Amino acid sequence: MNGALLAFTWRQQRVKLLVVAIALALFGMLLVVVYAAFGRDLRAVLESGLIPQGMVDLMQQLSGGGDIFSLAGSVALGMVHPISVALVCVFAVGFGSAAVAGERERGTLEVLLARPISRRAVYATLFAALVLFVALAVAAQLVGVGIAAAATGVSSELDVANLPLLWLNDVLLFVALGSIGLAASVSSDRLAPALGVTLAVTLIGYVLEFLGSVWPDAKGIQPFSPFHYLQPSQVLSGKGDPLDLLVLAGIAIVAVGYALVVFPRRDLAAPT
Amino acid sequence: MSMTAIATQALTKVYGGGRRGPTVRALDDLTVEVREGEIFGFLGPNGAGKSTTIRLLLGFLHATAGSASILGLDAAQDSVEIRRRVGYLPGGIALYDGLTGQALLEHLAALGGWATPRRAELCDRLELSQRTLGRLVRDYSRGMRQKIGIVQALQHDPELAILDEPSEGLDPLMQRAFYGILEDLRAGGHTIFLSSHVLSEVERICDRVAIVRAGRLVALEDIASLLARRKRRVEIRLAGPGPDLTRVPGVSGLTATDGRVELSLDGDVGPFLAAIAGAPIVDLTIEPARLEDAFLEYYADAEAEVEPATEAAS
């Protein structure tokens, strides 16, 4: 790993990270505030039978299977919601796929690799930066949850001890996606293919998980999605499955292994 | 005895083949040696294999066959250590546009863990003022970018500088300053490997030159001996009948019209001068041999070699 490259990458990304972190924190706060303001009323509406049970089941499935009208359910919904997924993907997909291919396309990889840094060290540094950015972004969302829960007086409804595991589960999901992005990035001379591959994996994964949630016959396809292994409701209820973490870590390890083999062996022809 | 800074042995790079399209031999069996302390010119037109050679030396590309060593280290195995001791200026260098010139130079030095003993002097000689260095690189002209590229390649005082088209974009004054820097580096025992297609530049500053064409080495010589073997162009204007020059050693391409004689002259000028002594000469012009002529001659020879082979094949 190269400290100067890590510091440079941090400086290059810090404003973007700040914006994403604030957005995620606000989003995390919003769901808790909504729950605190309307959660009990909504539960009463549900229990009155005004909303069809099928619709209620669907909403619970979409939120990861938990009780959407509990604080834990609201937090779980926030973790799998497209808004938070898209925000964290700014780094998992955007940074991951651009880290090498973007430099290559701009021609600056040439200048970087003219220094006495091995390609593996460059990769390790960028991977460390990816983990750092994802970890901070996800943490910001959970900090937002904590602040809003304390401010609205509902924090007693949440088992705070489960939050670190939820953070780890979410971080591992996006690090797995980011590792795929980095693997695509080291394999490509241009940003567009690397970004396209990573975006495709992410979107297909998200759609597979969504389809499996809303369509019982499609449940069998869920295990093929990385998103299937993010189970915030189970984690927040203390029933998280360590296998989920292992699967996500496994995806990341395979992608990292691929990149560490492919990147040093690649020919980097003169930029055109 | 001078040591070898760069040595390639049958270095070959082939692209493509199979599903990756037709095979292209970007570099074919290149064997050259660059001595420590010399300025070595690597000449050839676009696509001749100059950048491929440099990228093989620095580990950006992996050789299909053959080997290369730099400063006694294996180019394939010791690439990181080689890059620690080498300064590299890529052709058409791309820089981080969002940094100031100063921040960029500091960043590139920090990446390499290098001290920068020559930075101030280089900036001074290339007229990069503190004010200029304080501006964003995105606002730089092409020439200023090239100057920054030169400084980043040399600021850590490398043992060997590998410069790809280094004077591109520099105005004549800055080119002169740059040549002065290279000459000082040579005087200090540094080695310069310089790829170029600016023949006057190579002729002016290089000690030896290699000429490549279509990935193959077609010449490797001292500039001085290369020029010594080239033909000079001679023009004589006469006020009366001229001497018979047909049998003078080194004279060829003789044409005489209306008191004007043109010829080509190679080798020793002594017999020619002796032959024209006493002739009614009004004016005499002897154009020095130029590297451009040598270069074009090599290419003409190489074309001639290729054409019969192509005809035979067809």
Q: Does A271 touch chain B (CB under 8 A)?
A: yes
- Is the pLDDT at B310 greater than 60? The verdict is no
- Is the pLDDT at B268 greater than 70? The verdict is yes
pLDDT band for position A67 (cuts 50, 70, 90): low
Mean pLDDT, range B51-76, rounded to an integer? 93
- Is the pLDDT at A240 greater than 50? The verdict is yes
Spatial separation of the C-alpha atoms in residues A78 and A31, rounded to whole Å: 7
Give the range among B18-27, B123-132, B147-156 with minimum mean pLDDT: B18-27
Which residue, among B104, B107, B163, B193, would best test binding to A if mutated, counting the most A CBs under 10 Å from its CB?
Answer: B107
List of chain B residues whose C-beta atoms are within 8 Å of the C-beta of residue A106: 94
- Is the pLDDT at B293 greater than 80? The verdict is no
**What is the least distance, in Å, from the CA of B297 to any CA of chain A?**
29
**What is the least distance, in Å, from the CA of B259 to any CA of chain A?**
54
Give the range among B227-231, B277-281, B304-308 with minimum mean pLDDT: B304-308
Q: What is the CA radius of gyration of chain A?
A: 20
| Predicted local distance difference test score (pLDDT) of residue A237 | 85
Could A111 and B58 be called an inter-chain contact, meaning their C-beta atoms sit closer than 8 Å? Answer: no
pLDDT band for position A38 (cuts 50, 70, 90): confident
Mean pLDDT, range B228-244, rounded to an integer? 83
pLDDT band for position B267 (cuts 50, 70, 90): confident
Q: At what angle do helices A82-89 and A71-80 cross, to 10 degrees?
A: 50
Question: What size, in residues, is chain B?
Answer: 314
pLDDT band for position B162 (cuts 50, 70, 90): very high
Give tens-digit pLDDT for A160-190.
Answer: 889 999 999 999 999 999 999 999 999 998 9
| Predicted local distance difference test score (pLDDT) of residue B146 | 95
Could A114 and B90 be called an inter-chain contact, meaning their C-beta atoms sit closer than 8 Å? Answer: yes
Map tokens 């606002």 to a residue. Answer: B139
Mean pLDDT, range A50-78, rounded to an integer? 74
| Predicted local distance difference test score (pLDDT) of residue A61 | 67
- Is the pLDDT at B129 greater than 50? The verdict is yes
| Predicted local distance difference test score (pLDDT) of residue B299 | 65
- Is the pLDDT at B314 greater than 50? The verdict is no
DSSP single-letter state for residue A81: S
Could A4 and B110 be called an inter-chain contact, meaning their C-beta atoms sit closer than 8 Å? Answer: yes
Could A116 and B83 be called an inter-chain contact, meaning their C-beta atoms sit closer than 8 Å? Answer: yes
Of B83, B98, B107, the CB nearest to A114: B83
Nearest CA in chain B to A106: B94
Find residue B87's DSSP bridge partners: B161
Spatial separation of the C-alpha atoms in residues B190 and B5, rounded to whole Å: 10
**What is the least distance, in Å, from the CA of B232 to any CA of chain A?**
38
- The percent of residues in chain A predicted with pLDDT above 70, rounded, is 95
| Predicted local distance difference test score (pLDDT) of residue A65 | 61
Nearest CA in chain A to B85: A116
- Is the pLDDT at B309 greater than 60? The verdict is no
pLDDT band for position A99 (cuts 50, 70, 90): very high
* Beta carbons of B158 and B81 less than 8 angstroms apart: no
Could A270 and B55 be called an inter-chain contact, meaning their C-beta atoms sit closer than 8 Å? Answer: yes
Residue ranges of A 3-42 with Cβ closer than 8 A to chain B: 4-5, 8, 12
Give the range among A63-77, A221-235, A247-261, B95-109 with minimum mean pLDDT: A63-77
Spatial CA neighbour of B112 closest among A8, A215, A43, A152: A8
Could B60 and A268 be called an inter-chain contact, meaning their C-beta atoms sit closer than 8 Å? Answer: yes
Which residue, among B111, B160, B165, would best test binding to A if mutated, counting the most A CBs under 10 Å from its CB?
Answer: B111
Residue ranges of B 146-165 with Cβ closer than 8 A to chain A: 152
| Predicted local distance difference test score (pLDDT) of residue A177 | 96
ipTM score over 0.90, yes or no: no
- Is the pLDDT at A254 greater than 90? The verdict is yes
Which residue, among B24, B58, B60, B155, would best test binding to A if mutated, counting the most A CBs under 10 Å from its CB?
Answer: B60
| Predicted local distance difference test score (pLDDT) of residue B213 | 86
Map tokens 């972004």 to a residue. Answer: A137
Higher-confidence residue of B229 and B34: namely B34
Spatial separation of the C-alpha atoms in residues B104 and B98, rounded to whole Å: 9
Spatial separation of the C-alpha atoms in residues A54 and A68, rounded to whole Å: 14
B191 token code pair: 């080695």
Of A5, A269, A270, the CB nearest to B111: A5
Query: H-type helices in chain A, by residue range?
Result: 3-47, 53-62, 71-80, 82-89, 96-106, 108-113, 119-152, 163-187, 191-214, 232-236, 242-265
| Predicted local distance difference test score (pLDDT) of residue A16 | 95
Q: Give the sheet arrangement for strand B251-257, strand by strand.
A: B251-257, B260-265, B232-238, B281-287
DSSP single-letter state for residue A94: I
pLDDT band for position A145 (cuts 50, 70, 90): very high
Could A117 and B15 be called an inter-chain contact, meaning their C-beta atoms sit closer than 8 Å? Answer: no
| Predicted local distance difference test score (pLDDT) of residue B124 | 94
Mean pLDDT, range B269-274, rounded to an integer? 89
Mean pLDDT, range A111-131, rounded to an integer? 95
Helix, strand or coil, per DSSP, at residue A9: helix
The DSSP result for chain B, as a single string, is -PPEEEEEEEEEEEE--GGG-S-EEEEEEEEEEEETT-EEEEE--TTSSHHHHHHHHTTSS--SEEEEEETTEETTT-HHHHHHHEEEE-TT----TTSBHHHHHHHHHHHHT---TTHHHHHHHTT--HHHHTSBGGG--HHHHHHHHHHHHHTT--SEEEEESTTTT--HHHHHHHHHHHHHHHHTT-EEEEEES-HHHHHHH-SEEEEEETTEEEEEEEHHHHHHHSPEEEEEEESSPPP--TTSTTEEEEEEETTEEEEEE-S-SHHHHHHHTTS-EEEEEEEPP-HHHHHHHHHHHHHHHHHHHHHHH-
Give tens-digit pLDDT for B183-195.
Answer: 999 999 999 999 9
Nearest CA in chain B to A12: B98
* Beta carbons of B89 and B150 less than 8 angstroms apart: yes
pLDDT band for position B311 (cuts 50, 70, 90): very low
| Predicted local distance difference test score (pLDDT) of residue B313 | 36
Spatial separation of the C-alpha atoms in residues B81 and B70, rounded to whole Å: 10
Mean pLDDT, range B23-38, rounded to an integer? 91
Nearest CA in chain A to B163: A114
Of B51, B111, B152, the CB nearest to A4: B111
Could A117 and B61 be called an inter-chain contact, meaning their C-beta atoms sit closer than 8 Å? Answer: no
Mean pLDDT, range A220-247, rounded to an integer? 91
Spatial CA neighbour of B91 closest among B34, B41, B59, B46: B46
Task: Please report the number of interchain residue pairs, chain A to chain B, with beta-carbon separation below 8 angstroms.
Answer: 71
Phi, psi of A219 (to 5 degrees): -60, -30
∠ Cα B20 B22 B24 (to 5°):
105
Could B55 and A117 be called an inter-chain contact, meaning their C-beta atoms sit closer than 8 Å? Answer: no
Helix, strand or coil, per DSSP, at residue A108: helix
Q: What is the mean pLDDT of chain B?
A: 87
Q: What is the mean pLDDT of chain A?
A: 90
| Predicted local distance difference test score (pLDDT) of residue B201 | 82
- Is the pLDDT at A62 greater than 70? The verdict is no
Q: Is B227 exposed, middle or buried (0-12, 13-18, 19+ CB in 10 A)?
A: middle
Of A12, A113, A265, the CB nearest to B60: A113
**What is the least distance, in Å, from the CA of B80 to any CA of chain A?**
5
- Is the pLDDT at B38 greater than 60? The verdict is yes
Could A112 and B80 be called an inter-chain contact, meaning their C-beta atoms sit closer than 8 Å? Answer: no
A163 token code pair: 């939050």
- Is the pLDDT at A150 greater than 80? The verdict is yes
Could A269 and B94 be called an inter-chain contact, meaning their C-beta atoms sit closer than 8 Å? Answer: no
Mean pLDDT, range B77-95, rounded to an integer? 92
